[in-house]
Chain A
Amino acid sequence: MIGGSISRWTMTYFAAALTWLLAALALMVAGIGHPAADLAAPDTLVLVHVVCIGWLSVAMCGALFQFVPVLVAQPLFGERWVLPALVLLTAGLVSLLAGFMALGARLPSAPWLLPLGALLLVAGFGLVVVDLGLTAWRRPTGPARFVLVGLASLCATAAFGAVFAFALAGWAGRMGDAVLARGIPLHAIVGLGGWLTLTAMGVSYRLLSMFMLAPDVEDRKSRLTLAAGALAVAATVGGGAIAIGLELGLNIVLSIAALFGLACAALYGRDIAAIFRTRKRRHLELNMRMAMLSFASLAATGLMGTALVSTRTLPLHLGAFAFLAAFGWLSGLVLAKLYKIVAFLTWLETYGPVMGRAPTPRVQDLVAESRATKWFAIYYVSVWMGTLALLAAEPGAFRIAAAAMMIGVVGIVHEIIRIRRLEDVASTLRLPAGAVAPHLLFAKT
């Protein structure tokens, strides 16, 4: 086993994640959850967890199972844990969502559903954290350090979530109730900011420099970026826990975390700009051009957060802020990179074994960028429209934006399926002697 082997179940993770994304968009189009409902309403909790666990976390795990071994040039610690982890995560999420629906009286009351979901999710994420953590630990340099901090943040997020689930079932005692009453912002910040954002940053350093032929970002610089991010997470978790324990206000803790978070985003912007500046490959592929829109969304999220805090309107517009972070920055980046990763892995799986023995297509022959561009454009424009609709408190306009996002995502998913089925490869090159067509949902090698 070598670090560059193809991960068997990454496509399965991607398929599951995209299914959850479509489910989340369907909920938004149907007007279920925020902004029609309150931010803390059970329907909003359903929507938020479909997005953050079903879509973003599952997609991120699938990508990490492929790329952490590449980052550290070592084989994955436990290949056979990968599929059981996905089964546990899916079962846990379904149970958690059913628990939220029972809270909102959409299902008969069943207080055990939330703790059951939490336990299954902790077990699933536990397998992911141990497997990826032990792999990254073998050579913890550069981007792999971001993954390690991201995984630690995932543990903290899951721990908060599990306490909430037990508290909602009435099984967590007074301390659990206190954590539930005040800890929700901490859970959200560590999940979106620590786990998803820091991990996406780490992986993007390597993917960007690899695909654009740029030198790696200097260790010294990326370490500073990570330090700012890690301090933001540590301030949130440590400071937050102390504040809750001593029954103090959270404002100071959150302000400190926000300052570190802004510094981290700014330093990341500097690092990414350096990769773009020093790249040897002048022509930018679609996934890079689209990734730039998600970097712009990250910058916009930072500016918006600063503006909302300085006008003291953050609590009013928290939904818009989180929406832009989740869909403009994280989902946009994941969709853009999925498009490239699926094409590359499909190419490697299908043509790697016959390369040099028969004529094979290039990676770019598997994609039809001009067709895909419009779906990405529809997606990003509708995300920004949706953010404006949320800021303007226009639920009707938001549903229209969500419907447009759905159209964009369906188009992108359709393109990804075409890539997997080699439908855009010229028929003379599609399957040279000895090559085997890939399966849609997993890698055969």
Chain B
Amino acid sequence: MADYLDVDARPILRAGGEPFSAIMAAVGRLQEGQGLRLYAPFKPVPLFTVMADKGFAHSASELGGGEWEVLFTPVGAKPETTPIAASNSPFAAWPEPVVELDNRDLDPPEPMVRILAAAEKLGPGETLSSLLRREPVFLFPQLEKRGFRWLGGFRPDGATYELTVRAPS
């Protein structure tokens, strides 16, 4: 039975923070043969490649409410690599939002219109953030078609959804 170090990325992301450095710091603290147990408010697919490069296999299970538990288990010897440049990794720190929108009291679908209008004005790699009442399910396909990336989740009170959108760089 492997021993795992727990990292909960949910509060970091909820507070608008960047979990990559915390996760990498934890990976650096792991004992020989020890794995990492990560809790995240979404399935952290980009991290799987990063961890695979570091010699970890992953197994992800959904906890409900869109949250995930992922077990990273070391497979064989860790290949000794240079630290991945944060700017190239999919979990690299996103820059501070250049636009902050509060769309909580707008009639739907006005929040979507405003977010797309603001997103179109972002420079390459820039981000915007928005507060919403609910998960903007109809917005996501539009963002995806335009090549934007996004991170989002409800605050612990469940009444406010925080969304960060990043323009393609």
Contacts and interface: CB of A to CB of B under 8 A. Distances in A.
A355 B137 contact: no
B117 A355 contact: yes
Interface stretch (B11-19, B32-40, B44-52, B105-113): B105-113
Contact of B113 (A4, A141, A360): A360
A6 B138 CA distance: 8
A355 B105 contact: no
A44 B18 CA distance: 65
A363 interface: yes
Interface in A249-308: 280-281
B78 interface: no
B71 interface: no
Given A215-B159, A355-B142, A70 B105 contact: no
A5 B141 contact: yes
B62 to A, nearest CB: 9
B159 A355 contact: no
B15 to A, nearest CB: 23
Interface in B84-125: 105, 107-110, 112-113, 116-120
B6 interface: no
Given A356-B113, A356-B119, A363-B109, A2 B135 contact: no
Contacts, number: 56
Contacts of A360: 113
A170 interface: no
Interface residues of A, number: 26
Interface string B130-144: 000111111111101
B66 interface: yes
Nearest to A359: B117
Interface of A: 2-6, 70, 73, 139, 141, 210-211, 213, 215, 280-281, 344, 347-348, 352-353, 355-357, 360, 362-363
20 contacts: A2-B141, A2-B144, A3-B140, A4-B141, A70-B138, A73-B66, A73-B135, A73-B137, A213-B105, A213-B133, A281-B107, A347-B109, A352-B138, A352-B142, A353-B142, A355-B116, A356-B117, A356-B119, A360-B113, A362-B110
